[in-house]
Amino acid sequence: QSALTQPASVSGSPGQSITISCTGTSSDVGSYNLVSWYQQHPGKAPKLMIYEVSKRPSGVSNRFSGSKSGNTASLTISGLQAEDEADYYCCSYAGSSTFWVFGGGTKLTVL
């Protein structure tokens, strides 16, 4: 069982927006603004899409955005494109004894 809870799957049509939630606790998501999101295509390494809750690394499309409220973080993808179909993982810092905790992953299907 993963430390952070994500829906197993979400889907949307091209051009639509979807949101993936990531629920943790007051010991991880709720305590630190160090939530990140990763995109993983089959057979590939994860790619950082969002860091520090809502910041985008250079080169990541502005269609990807992040937010947090309390113990729940969210990733929103707007203007869905076929290439967005992938697995998405959230991650939060959880203190020096636990460091990084991940969500179980969400499979995004673009219909």
User: Does 104 participate in binding another protein (rule CB under 8 A)?
Assistant: yes
User: Does 77 participate in binding another protein (rule CB under 8 A)?
Assistant: no
Number of Cβ atoms within 10 Å of the Cβ of 90: 30
Pick the closest to residue 20 from 60, 43, 50 (CA basis).
50
Q: Which stretch binds another protein (CB under 8 A): 9-17, 20-28, 77-85, 103-111?
A: 103-111
Alpha-carbon gap, residue 44 to 62, rounded angstroms? 22
Interface with another protein (CB under 8 A): 2, 34, 36, 38, 45-48, 51-52, 57, 89, 91, 93, 96-105
